[in-house]
Amino acid sequence: MKIVIADPLPSSAADLLRDEGWDVDAQTGRTPDELHAALADADALIVRSATRVDAGLIARAPRLKVIARAGTGVDNVDLDAASAGGILVVNAPGANSVSVAEHTFALLLAAARSIALADGLMKAGRWDKKRLLGTELRGKTLGVVGLGRIGREVVHRAHAFGMRTIVHDPFISSQVAADLDVELLELDELCAQADFITLHVPSTGTRPLFDAARLSRCKPTLRIINTARGTLIDEAALADAIEHGVVGGAGLDVFQTEPPSDTRLTGLPQVVVTPHIAGSTREAQELVGLETATCVRDFLKTGVVRNAVNYPSLAPEELRRIQPYTVLAQRLGAFLGQISTGRIETVAIRYYGELAEGNTEILVGATLVGFFGTVLSSNVTPINARALAKDRGIEVIESRSTRPRNFTSLISVKLHTSDGERWAEGALFERAGPRLILVDGVSVEAPLEGTLVVIRNNDQPGVIGAVGMILGRHLVNIATFALGRGPTGAVAVVNIDREGADDPVVTDDVLDEIRAVPAVQQVTMVTL
């Protein structure tokens, strides 16, 4: 075996591979031609972030079996090209979890005891003890937003400090929370109770998780810690909140723009800041290298796949048969994930017709990818999705039915949550793509694409007209309006016309107006 290491890695990583008797070509700073030449007979390529593994590079490596990214993100690897070439792509997620958790507590302690301010005053020759009254962590309440690998490491350390720990993570089961001795709360409940809040979730999109409204629901003594994503906090709102005593302070390692262009927030004495270094430790770099090399070794030596981030390998004819249904499964998962509330306990997937035969693992993965996609990292793939569900205490149940239905094949997905059951079914329509055919037992036909407004309401006259008038008043164009009726009420799925970037969007205010219609029970916007 020949392994090419194109970016700097600890020597221990290369040694682990050499111990197998393999040829390890570890050289950095190569020209493109030199790298192409090295890959001509290579079985594996290991990179960090400097080397870009594009389709052209992959095409010049005919023997390549695995591409390994020594780190979490794989933006520098063309996953589609790798999958098309039958090449496994792996990464090293979570290897820096302890480093980030420890840095979280470094910021938390520094904020609680005004360490940075005290250091600055001392270096300026000022002995100002009265200004530096701190607070203990013992007995305080720590709110942890996101209970992944890093969040769990933080919880363990919080318990060592004698802190009460509360958690917000809708994708963690009650049993997992009980095992970790934490209390699961809704985010606003957590904000109202926490003395400290630490964030360990991926970016939430265009809207910050902590804006002015949410900060106003927090204790005035709160210190908020962010080692996750800069976009989780509205920095201007946080600066306002600290200046006006709405919250007490912050410890920040990540920022909306890096490096920050506005020093208003970072210059406040109640704020401790570091330049995105939470995962930057010698130990973390060593672990990343070893974990990456171990994944490559195990795959090449025994075929064991760990930390994969691309699709599983299937026979060409099987892939052609099932590929269209992976899109349907992913969109059903995304649809249910966005309309559901409460903690998810079970995901039940049932296949009808032709899908009831053969290997459906890729459909399980696709469903979970859609389900997890909006709340977890971009590395959720059909390969690792089951493991993510298991890690969060979510049971995945598959079943097959030969009972004839009105479609050649269809997929049924049910979520069992702490708030009840949500159910959706979908099928493929010729020339129309994935279609929604049932919501919570009510038959309704609608496209599974674009922006959808999903409405549950009492089955009575006037609802369609009221919704149409509200959307029209806000210049929102309706592409399709599908309505289904059942014993428990009616379900409407409104597809919003978004052909141009300047088309009006459905804002929260518009949704609130629809919710105010007397017959309406629930309104949710879904983006697919």
**CB contact at 8 A, 87 and 65:** yes
Cα-only R_g, the chain = 26
Looking at residue 498, what is its pLDDT?
66
Residue of 381, 355, 362 lying closest to 315 (CA atoms): 362
- The answer to whether residue 362 scores a pLDDT higher than 90 is no
Q: Which residues in 387-440 belong to E strands, given as ranges?
A: 395-401, 409-417, 420-429, 433-439
Looking at residue 504, what is its pLDDT?
61
Does domain 97-273 fall into CATH 3.90.1150.10? no
Q: Which residues contact 245 (CB under 8 A, 6 or more apart)?
A: 220
In whole angstroms, give the CA distance from residue 84 to residue 470. Answer: 46
In this prediction the pTM is 0.73
Average pLDDT over every residue of 365-394: 78
Looking at residue 374, what is its pLDDT?
67
In whole angstroms, give the CA distance from residue 86 to residue 343. Answer: 37
Q: Dump pLDDT digits (tens) for 77-96.
A: 998 888 878 788 999 888 88
What residues form DSSP beta bridges with 525? 453
3-state secondary structure 119-186: HHHHHCCCCCHHHHCCCCCCCCEEEEECCCHHHHHHHHHHHHCCCEEEEECCCCCHHHHHHCCCEECC
Using alpha carbons only, give the angle 381, 385, 386 rounded to the nearest 5 degrees. 150
Looking at residue 353, what is its pLDDT?
86
DSSP state of 445: E
Percentage of the chain surpassing pLDDT 70?
94
Q: Which residues contact 356 (CB under 8 A, 6 or more apart)?
A: 400, 401, 402
Mean pLDDT of the chain: 89
In whole angstroms, give the CA distance from residue 273 to residue 258. Answer: 12
Domain boundary assignment for the chain = 2-95+283-302, 97-273, 311-440, 450-528
Domains 2-95+283-302 and 97-273 share a fold: yes
Q: Which residues contact 516 (CB under 8 A, 6 or more apart)?
A: none
Cα dihedral: 155, 158, 163, 164 (round 10): 0
DSSP state of 250: E
Give the tokens for residue 289. Answer: 């290298």
In whole angstroms, give the CA distance from residue 499 to residue 2. Answer: 49
Looking at residue 381, what is its pLDDT?
67
The fold of the 311-440 domain, in CATH, is 60s Ribosomal Protein L30; Chain: A; (3.30.1330)
Give the least confident one: 149-153, 318-322, 458-462, 506-510.
318-322
Looking at residue 311, what is its pLDDT?
62
Q: Which residues contact 487 (CB under 8 A, 6 or more apart)?
A: none
Q: Dump pLDDT digits (tens) for 257-308.
A: 889 988 999 999 999 999 999 988 999 989 999 999 999 998 899 877 788 8
What is the CA 77 to chain-centroid distance, rounded? 19
In whole angstroms, give the CA distance from residue 49 to residue 171. Answer: 30
What residues form DSSP beta bridges with 425? 412, 438
- The answer to whether residue 247 scores a pLDDT higher than 90 is yes
Looking at residue 64, what is its pLDDT?
93
Looking at residue 455, what is its pLDDT?
94
Q: Dump pLDDT digits (tens) for 19-32.
A: 999 999 999 989 99
In whole angstroms, give the CA distance from residue 120 to residue 116. Answer: 6
Answer with the residue of higher pLDDT: 377 or 269.
Answer: 269
Looking at residue 83, what is its pLDDT?
80
Show which residues are catalytic: 229, 258, 276
Q: Dump pLDDT digits (tens) for 172-210.
A: 888 999 999 999 999 999 999 999 999 998 876 668 999
Edge-to-edge strand order for the sheet containing 66-69? 23-26, 2-5, 44-47, 66-69, 88-90
Give the tokens for residue 372. Answer: 């997890």
Say whether 401 sits in a helix, a strand or coil. strand
In whole angstroms, give the CA distance from residue 249 to residue 239. Answer: 9
In whole angstroms, give the CA distance from residue 517 to residue 520. Answer: 6
In whole angstroms, give the CA distance from residue 447 to residue 329. Answer: 13
CATH number of 450-528: 3.30.70.260
In whole angstroms, give the CA distance from residue 224 to residue 228. Answer: 12
What is the CA 14 to chain-centroid distance, rounded? 31
In whole angstroms, give the CA distance from residue 136 to residue 180. Answer: 23
Say whether 484 sits in a helix, a strand or coil. strand
Looking at residue 314, what is its pLDDT?
55
Match domain 2-95+283-302 to its CATH number in 2.60.120.10, 3.40.50.2000, 2.60.120.260, 3.40.50.720. 3.40.50.720
Instruction: For residue 234, name the pLDDT band (cuts at 50, 70, 90).
Output: very high
In whole angstroms, give the CA distance from residue 7 to residue 25. Answer: 11
For 320-348, the DSSP string reads: HHHHHHHHHHHHHHHHHHHH--S-EEEEE
DSSP state of 27: -
Average pLDDT over every residue of 320-349: 89
- The answer to whether residue 170 scores a pLDDT higher than 90 is no
**CB contact at 8 A, 211 and 256:** no
